[in-house]
A and B are shown apart, each in its own frame.
Chain A
Amino acid sequence: MSASKGLHPEAAIGPIAVPAATPAWRRGLYLLVGIAVALAPLVLLESFHLFQLTMAVIMALAVLGLNIVCGYNGQISLGHGAFFAVGAYATAILMSHFDWSFWATLPVSAVVCGVIGYGIGFPALRLAGHYLALTTFSLAVAVPQILKHKSIEDWTGGVQGLFLVKPDPPAGLPLSPDQWMYVVTLIVAGACFLLAWNLIRSRIGRALIATRDNPTAAEAMGMDIASLKTRAFAVSAMITGIAGSLSAVAIEFVAPDSFSIFVSITLFVGMVVGGVASILGSLFGGLFVLFVPNIAEAISKAAPGVIYGVILILFLFLLPDGFAGLLRRIGQRLRIRP
């Protein structure tokens, strides 16, 4: 909470001012370099590490969703694991019961999560701060049990969960299923990151940030706060739900136990470590929540949770505004020097 409020206004506005100074050829170059870096693991990594990276990108996408409502709009949600689960189940049910292709399930999953997110957005209007955090938290607690409920068991598979299969690489592409899964994840996540980036730099993005920083002033300037907040929740839930869809096919299995309350906490940790209100920070957040628990376990098997906690505290101590803040500071230094 304090992290979002403590953010310097110029830092959030920073990215808006930059593009004007960046010539088009340079932006194109950045884009090409970015694509090259994103595709490099295809040839550099073997299947297990590629799988891990795929999962990290998926987590990054989920963190991005959370960042839109928490970071940019200042509404604390501890329940985004619920949207992640709904997205995963939407894809799993359509693929295993109706033999839909993965691509066809994505819009459905996005719409379902968007509608649910929109619905959650309404009580959120009346609940602020801690109360909203607790309400969304209860949502995350409830979802795994709802998934087990017998009235929908024929669809969800109950506690046994559902099995599904990764999309096959298109004929003619010399890729393994793991490599193709990575490409699919990159395409979907890349599109979502680009859309989120554009959204935040647009009039609506500025309105979201204004609503967060000073709702009274924002309202005085003619912004419809209620509609902004509920729509922010919808977009946020949609992105996290799409990440859930991707995770379902990457893991090839969904079960209520896959979506415990820890998923929501993990996403929140990813957002804070990566950088609140930062698009790029979400990417770092995803990498952090996937890889750091493994590092913690490599250090101590007896108490991996303690080591994870210590690493987390160290990060928050050394990088109080997340990875994104570190990058921002480095960027500022480089700009001053020439």
Chain B
Amino acid sequence: MLLRRREILIAALAAPAVARAADLPGVTATELRIGNTMPYSGPNSAYGVIGRTEQAFIRMLNEQGGVAGRKINFITYDDGFSPPKTVEQTRRLIEQDKVAFLFNPLGTPTNNAILRYCNQRKVPHLFLATGADKWGNWQDTPWTMGWQPSYRTEAQIYAKHLLAQRKEFRLAIVFQNDDFGKDYIAGMRDVIGAERFDATVKTASFEITDPTPDSQILSLQSTGADVLMIALGPKAAAQAIRKVHDIGWQAQRYLTNVSLSVGAVMQPAGMEKGVGIITSGYLKEQGDAAWRDDPGMNEYRAFMKQWMPDGDLHDANTVYGYALGRTLQQLLAQCDGDFSRETVMRQAAGLHEVALPVLLPGITLNTGPQDYRPIQKMQLQRWDGASWVRFGGLIEGAEV
């Protein structure tokens, strides 16, 4: 009898919370629904491993008791990197599955396609897996937030390093003629200053359909430039590095971190031909000897061993997925049981000095109501002929 009465009491106490939860999309007394789109099929399906890592991470969270008494139902759909499919899958997530918010949908064109839809409906569109700069635009799209440093931030960091090193320089930029490449022009210009940039900097655009960037490199060399920014995808970057070396152009070279792969860029270019190239990073890498006994990377390795035994430890995408999983865990903890869309968005814009085990030491997540760029610091690294060697302190992107 006593027990019965206690049960009723508990039920009565719990009732208002249940009633309230029922009003919130994606939130029930036992479940929190979160949506995601990934290219599990199609030409970019290599990125699908990010989604699988996140699924594994959430499985782990659920086994450990979930968040605020609820299990997370992570609904992730394949969009094949096709914007119309992303629209369809996102509408399915929001209108049919009624998810509370979207987490880490991947791709620039795909997220572009749902940008307005999410903001019209006021659905948090969080921590997008793309490096475009526009996701930090809190004024126009207050429900959308990126995660990783944007290409523009990265370019600002190179420009800062350049300005700190030399007063006089003649900069040349070879860039891929798309949103990715153009962000490097924008970032360099932010720091160098529009006037000086326009007067002194030479640029050459490279179409992804061009067989090689050789002619661009030759024409830039002939301008007498002594600093070269290479904003090209992996294949063209390898060709550019080789060409610059072969024509004996002694320029200080910066390389986009999209193309820092040893296997896909530095080896094909010729290991010794890239000595001295500077790029940047923000995540730890399995291949870096410095992290052999690192507690943070050990956490990652333990997670992979138990929850994703078939995953590749060396795949940077799994490190990335793990970092995103930890970010989600932090966000949900900060929400403290209130998963309304407003609260989720407010907490996403309220990350302060959040350290993740796989970020480089000193790099933390920081956001605010007027700062939708969680990671803005990076560390430079230089190619020594065999591997990337980190040097100097962390550098932050400029305020623009």
Binary A-proximity of B72-105 (CB < 8 A = 1, otherwise 0): 0000111011111001100110011000000000
Q: How far is B197's CA from A338's CA once the two chains are assembled, in angstroms?
A: 85
Query: Given A46-B95, A159-B178, A305-B41, are A251 and B80 also a contact pair (CB < 8 Å)?
Result: no
Give the residues in chain B near A258, CB-CB below 8 Å.
82-84, 109, 113
On whether the beta carbons of B96 and A48 are closer than 8 Å, the reply is yes
Give the residues in chain B near A46, CB-CB below 8 Å.
95-96
Q: How far is B207's CA from A305's CA once the two chains are assembled, in angstroms?
A: 31
On whether the beta carbons of B113 and A251 are closer than 8 Å, the reply is yes
On whether the beta carbons of A301 and B40 are closer than 8 Å, the reply is yes
On whether the beta carbons of A301 and B76 are closer than 8 Å, the reply is yes
> Which residue of chain A is the closest to B94 with respect to CB atoms?
A48
Q: How far is B43's CA from A145's CA once the two chains are assembled, in angstroms?
A: 16
Q: Does B116 make an interface contact (CB < 8 A)?
A: yes
Q: How far is B207's CA from A145's CA once the two chains are assembled, in angstroms?
A: 9
Give the residues in chain A near B76, CB-CB below 8 Å.
301
On whether the beta carbons of B179 and A159 are closer than 8 Å, the reply is yes
- What's the least CB distance linking A34 to chain B, in Å? 26
- What's the least CB distance linking B130 to chain A, in Å? 12
Q: Does B205 make an interface contact (CB < 8 A)?
A: yes
**Among candidates A161, A260, A305, residue contacting B82 with C-beta atoms closer than 8 Å:** A260
Q: Does A148 make an interface contact (CB < 8 A)?
A: yes
> Which residue of chain B is the closest to A58 with respect to CB atoms?
B84
Q: How far is B80's CA from A46's CA once the two chains are assembled, in angstroms?
A: 25
Which positions 27-81 of chain B face chain A at CB distance < 8 Å?
40-43, 76-78, 80-81
Tally of chain B residues near chain A (CB < 8 A): 32
Q: How far is B86's CA from A55's CA once the two chains are assembled, in angstroms?
A: 13
**Among candidates B78, B81, B88, B109, residue contacting A159 with C-beta atoms closer than 8 Å:** B109
Q: How far is B108's CA from A46's CA once the two chains are assembled, in angstroms?
A: 29
**Among candidates A47, A163, A257, residue contacting B81 with C-beta atoms closer than 8 Å:** A257
On whether the beta carbons of A145 and B209 are closer than 8 Å, the reply is yes
Q: How far is B55's CA from A302's CA once the two chains are assembled, in angstroms?
A: 12
Interface centre among B84, B117, B205 (most CB of A within 10 A): B84
Give the residues in chain B near A48, CB-CB below 8 Å.
91-92, 95-96
Q: Does B317 make an interface contact (CB < 8 A)?
A: no
Q: Does B212 make an interface contact (CB < 8 A)?
A: no
Binary B-proximity of A52-79 (CB < 8 A = 1, otherwise 0): 1001000000000000000000000000
Give the residues in chain B near A47, CB-CB below 8 Å.
91, 95
> Which residue of chain A is the closest to B84 with respect to CB atoms?
A251
Q: Does A202 make an interface contact (CB < 8 A)?
A: no
Q: Does B177 make an interface contact (CB < 8 A)?
A: yes
On whether the beta carbons of A148 and B178 are closer than 8 Å, the reply is yes
On whether the beta carbons of B88 and A160 are closer than 8 Å, the reply is no
Give the residues in chain A near B209, CB-CB below 8 Å.
145
Q: Does A247 make an interface contact (CB < 8 A)?
A: yes
Q: Does A253 make an interface contact (CB < 8 A)?
A: yes
- What's the least CB distance linking B220 to chain A, in Å? 18
On whether the beta carbons of B113 and A262 are closer than 8 Å, the reply is no
Q: How far is B41's CA from A150's CA once the two chains are assembled, in angstroms?
A: 29
B residues at A contact (CB < 8 Å): 40-43, 76-78, 80-84, 87-88, 91-92, 95-96, 108-110, 112-113, 116-117, 177-179, 205, 207-209
A-B contact pairs, 9 of them (CB 8 A): A51-B91, A52-B88, A150-B205, A161-B109, A247-B84, A251-B84, A252-B116, A253-B112, A297-B77
Top 9 A-B residue pairs of the complex, sorted by shortest distance between their CB atoms: A48-B95, A257-B109, A253-B113, A159-B178, A255-B109, A258-B83, A305-B41, A48-B96, A251-B84
Known: A258-B113, A304-B40. 20 other contacts (CB 8 A): A46-B95, A48-B91, A48-B96, A49-B96, A149-B207, A159-B109, A161-B109, A161-B112, A251-B113, A253-B87, A253-B113, A257-B81, A258-B83, A258-B84, A260-B43, A262-B82, A293-B78, A297-B40, A297-B78, A305-B41
